[in-house]
Amino acid sequence: MGSWVWGFVTDFFTYETTKSVVVKSWSVGIINRIVQLLIITYFVCWVFIHEKAYQSTDTGIESSVMTKVKGFGYHHNHVMDVADYVSPPQGAGVFCIMTKLIITENQFQGKCAETGKRFSCNTDEDCHKHLGSILSNGVITGTCLNSSDGSKGMCEIEGWCPAENDGVVVMPMLDVNNFTIFIKNSIRFPLFNVTRGNFPSTMNSSEIKSCKYNPDTNPFCPIFRVGDVLNYTGQDVENLAAKGGEIGINIEWKCNLDLSIDYCVPKYSFTRLDEPFSRNAVSKGYNFRFAKYFKTENGTDFRTLHKAYAIRFDVMVTGNAGRFDTVPTLINLVAAFTSIGLGAVLCDLILLNFLKGAEQYKAKKFEEVSDAQIEASLAQSPGSLVSLKGGIKSSCDSGAMSLAASDQQL
């Protein structure tokens, strides 16, 4: 029993290594080394240095954005300030600067004439086809209101009266060009618990108040002139202010946390978000309607309807951070080493097929054993097994052994 255990232990603490054929041939040798060099170069330069395969990456960036607009504009002979033209007012990451307002004052609930040309009529029948329309300014009643001067009449609506006429020409507030947007963005990479703000803590109060963002000279200033932002997106302020539009302010954080945290800085870019729709003839620009509600002395509600053409700014924060991690490093290292072995496939092909003396190489590389041989050897000399057995492990443990052996082949 004791000797059996001892035998097992001595069998276990062995080391298997593959038997190799060393081919001293210049042609195959050089090809072999070149292929290995190419594979190593690829892995070192592309996979590890460029793609940073040794890092684990946190893409789940957490972000908080605060914005503040400043500036004054003239519109409808009023001076508009932030409280007038920014909506919603809370200074979130998505906000609109209203640049053109079509104002319909003193609307009361009641019945009145539609305004759009489409709703002109001679008889009630002309209006019946619009029943249930959602493109009117109120519920179409089906009645045609004839005008007093004998010209074409208009379909009657029920709702807020008088109806809005959004065909009027209103000059947009071009002063928007000089407005400034202050953006405060703090981010966190939860995986690495790293927190960053979008302007350096070394910037002092007066610097921040006086600077203007410029991608070249002042890339970390958090104050953006609206005119500049529109320029960067290649947009025309007149057009945008008149029709509205959506501008994306993208803050990109690409942080290599293996370097100093000071290199983890934001990069701003600006795009027109409704670009993909520029080829469509419909739904250009951006506008929305809202109302301010009032009460008469006797308690009747009335409202002022605003159709607001606005430039909407979406501050979008994206980014990822990478830091050295053992798991991806190991997996990629193993892949690299294994890939080097792939070079052998090419060399084997050349060696065993295209080289002078290929058959001799084959004879050296491959040792053949066939069923027939084994059977012959079994039949001929059953006793010879003993002589063979010297170097062979006992049957029961060779499973584990050969598994381990095979591992080394992988």
CB nearer to a copy of itself: pick between 79 and 147: 79
CB nearer to a copy of itself: pick between 81 and 152: 81
CB nearer to a copy of itself: pick between 45 and 123: 45
Region binding a copy of itself by CB under 8 A among candidate stretches 116-124, 165-173, 211-219, 390-398 = 390-398
Instruction: Rule CB under 8 A: say whether 256 interacts with a copy of itself.
Output: no
Tell me how far, at minimum, the Cβ of 154 lies from a copy of itself, in Å: 17
User: DSSP assignment of 245-295, as one string?
Assistant: EEEEEEEEEEEETTS-GGG--EEEEEEETTGGGTTSSS--S-EEEEEEEEE
Tell me how far, at minimum, the Cβ of 40 lies from a copy of itself, in Å: 10
Instruction: Rule CB under 8 A: say whether 374 interacts with a copy of itself.
Output: yes
- In this structure, what token pair is assigned to residue 327? 């798991």
Instruction: Rule CB under 8 A: say whether 262 interacts with a copy of itself.
Output: no
Of 146, 165, 164, 166, nearest in space to 156 by CA: 146
Residues in the interface with a copy of itself (CB under 8 A) total 180
Of 163, 191, 168, nearest in space to 104 by CA: 163
Which DSSP category does 149 fall into?
A: T
Sequence-ordered strand ranges (E) for 43-193: 55-58, 62-70, 73-75, 78-80, 86-87, 94-113, 120-121, 139-145, 153-161, 180-189
Angle value at C-alpha 345, between 339 and 348, nearest 5 degrees: 145
Which one among 91, 116, 142, 162 touches a copy of itself, defined by CB under 8 A?
91
| Near a copy of itself in 320-359, by CB under 8 A | 320, 326-327, 330-332, 334-335, 337-345, 347-349, 351-353, 356-359
Distance of CA 364 to the CA centre of its chain: 56
Which one among 151, 204, 217, 380 touches a copy of itself, defined by CB under 8 A?
204
| Near a copy of itself in 206-245, by CB under 8 A | 208-209
CB nearer to a copy of itself: pick between 120 and 137: 137
CB nearer to a copy of itself: pick between 149 and 297: 297
- HSE toward the beta carbon, residue 193, CA cutoff 13 A: 0
The answer to whether the beta carbons of residues 291 and 308 sit under 8 Å apart is no
| Near a copy of itself in 170-189, by CB under 8 A | 178-180, 182, 184, 186, 188
Region binding a copy of itself by CB under 8 A among candidate stretches 122-130, 132-140, 143-151, 227-235 = 132-140
Instruction: Rule CB under 8 A: say whether 112 interacts with a copy of itself.
Output: no
Instruction: Rule CB under 8 A: say whether 141 interacts with a copy of itself.
Output: no
Place of tokens 């410029």: 214
- Rounded CA-CA distance 285/277 in Å is 10
Place of tokens 């001293």: 24
